[in-house]
Amino acid sequence: MKDVQERIGEIITILSQAYPRSRTALRFESPFQILVATILSAQCTDEKVNQITPALFRKYPTPSDFASADPKVLEQEIRPTGFFRNKTKSIIGASKKIVEDFGGKVPDNMEDLISLPGVARKTANIVLSSSFKKAEGIAVDTHVRRLSQRLGLSKEQDPDKIERDLMEIVPKDDWLDFNYMLVNHGRAVCPSRKPRCPECQLKRLCPSASEFYPGNELNL
């Protein structure tokens, strides 16, 4: 198996060809909407979030509207996404800080974004890449964490440490797309429980392929 520095270029090339228009599946029309949608997406499918956000954004079109929302009402409105109490606290807290400290506009840099309640680097990276086309890091969600480990790109468990490993090996020009390509590949070919290694475009570059399918089944 090639060294990770040798493999990463091939991995990116293959993924970019397989998923040429990789973007977040969350639907949004503004930086604030993608911020809220990303908070809601924690431990929840993008599909479920997309079912809820249209009505939510009609009722609360601005950060000020969310900042003044009744927490008990908002909890019930976002309940289907799970962890609704914590998410309500994060959304209202972030909205208040955006209104009070940033003039009602979502900040466009990592330092200010992670100062918002409930916003860590993963959420900040998604907002920056999706809305501002800025690459200050690589969002590490469950898909990116799983595939980074299976592909031998990182041995870490902590998302921040995985992100640092990825930032060292992935060219900065690819940071914007890398998360979305891994997410798409994770959903399409490499799910958590039963990865479909025989049909995977990355099987010859993946040190985990032979673990899931020992022997000669993969024709590596």
Instruction: Give φ, ψ of 99 to 5 degrees.
Output: -70, -45
Distance from C-alpha of 136 to C-alpha of 175, rounded to nearest angstrom: 8
The residue length of the chain stands at 220
CA distances from 70 to 42, 54, 76, 126, 193 (A): 21, 19, 10, 27, 39
**Share of the chain residues as helix, strand and coil, in percent rounded to the nearest 5:** 60, 0, 40
Handedness of CA 68, 73, 77, 79 (dihedral sign): positive
Tell me the catalytic residues. Answer: 122, 141
